[in-house]
Amino acid sequence: MKKIELTLFFSSLILILLDFLNLLHPKYDFILILILFSLSLFYLFLGFAIFNNLQFRRIFAKSSYSHISNKRILGAIFTGIVYYISITGIFSKFLLWPGAIILPLLGVIGILIITIIAFFKMNNSDIFYSKILIRNNILGLICVCLLFIPLDTWLNLRYSDYPDFINAVHESEANPNNKTLQHKKWDEMEKMYEL
């Protein structure tokens, strides 16, 4: 399971970097979204196992949990949920979906809570919390960066080659209840993906 996590995690980091550098055409965003969505579901459903170093075939064996406290299992489940929310917020921001502000914000708040708990519970003999802190730092940094990038800057970074789309987004943001402008924004997005 660690190999799956590392493959998804580093693939998503590479694609995010390529996207920020405008080296990834927007029509290939689906690859980034597919990888991020897979990673978010991986953390949601299997995070408790990955954080507690459980092998996939031993997840359902009662003996696998004998050395793990109930608090640690609950903490690992909470961490998986927070990572799911954070990663969902990342791809919501990339696609300008609703929730592109609130989900990364909730993720950052959850990551801060987990970081504080992990920092105080960390000791030299147990690497559980240090591994969580490493993941928190990377995911938290991405979420914080996405939170503080204004919409104009985000649009100019990602869609500088598509001024019609940028104008359609600005018009729809200025009049969020106007269905015609909302449709125009999605039509411009579809044109961008057709190229």
Note the pLDDT tens digit of each residue in 157-188: 888 888 999 999 999 888 888 899 889 988 98
Tell me what pLDDT residue 195 has: 58
Tell me what pLDDT residue 110 has: 96
Per-residue pLDDT averaged across 31-58, rounded?
Answer: 88
In 3D space, the residue among 95, 91, 110 whose CA is nearest the CA of residue 41 turns out to be 91
Taking the C-alpha atoms of residue 7 and residue 14, their distance in angstroms, rounded to an integer, is 11
Tens digits of per-residue pLDDT, 62-84? Answer: 777 778 888 888 999 999 999 99
Instruction: Name the pLDDT band for 125 (thresholds 50, 70, 90).
Output: low
Residues 6+ apart with CB under 8 A from 64: 54, 55, 58
* pTM to 2 decimal places: 0.87
Low-confidence winner among 48-52, 97-101, 135-139, 176-180 (lowest mean pLDDT):
97-101
Rounded to the nearest integer, the mean pLDDT of the chain is 87
SS3 of the chain: the string is CHHHHHHHHHHHHHHHHHHHCCCCCHHHHHHHHHHHHHHHHHHHHHHHHHHCCCCHHHCCCHHHHCCCCHHHHHHHHHHHHHHHHHHHHHHHHHCCCCCCCHHHHHHHHHHHHHHHHHHHHCECCECHHHHHHHHHHHHHHHHHHHHHCCHHHHHHHHCCCCHHHHHHHHHHHHCCCCHHHHHHHHHHHHHHHHC
In 3D space, the residue among 1, 10, 14, 81 whose CA is nearest the CA of residue 41 turns out to be 81
Taking the C-alpha atoms of residue 157 and residue 21, their distance in angstroms, rounded to an integer, is 8
Tens digits of per-residue pLDDT, 137-150? Answer: 999 999 998 888 88
pLDDT over 90, % of the chain: 34
Per-residue pLDDT averaged across 111-135, rounded?
Answer: 86
Per-residue pLDDT averaged across 34-56, rounded?
Answer: 89
In terms of pLDDT, which residue wins out, 136 or 63? 136
Tell me what pLDDT residue 116 has: 93
For residue 124, pLDDT beyond 70: no
For residue 106, pLDDT beyond 90: yes
Per-residue pLDDT averaged across 121-133, rounded?
Answer: 81
In 3D space, the residue among 46, 45, 52 whose CA is nearest the CA of residue 66 turns out to be 52
CB 84 within 8 A of CB 43: yes
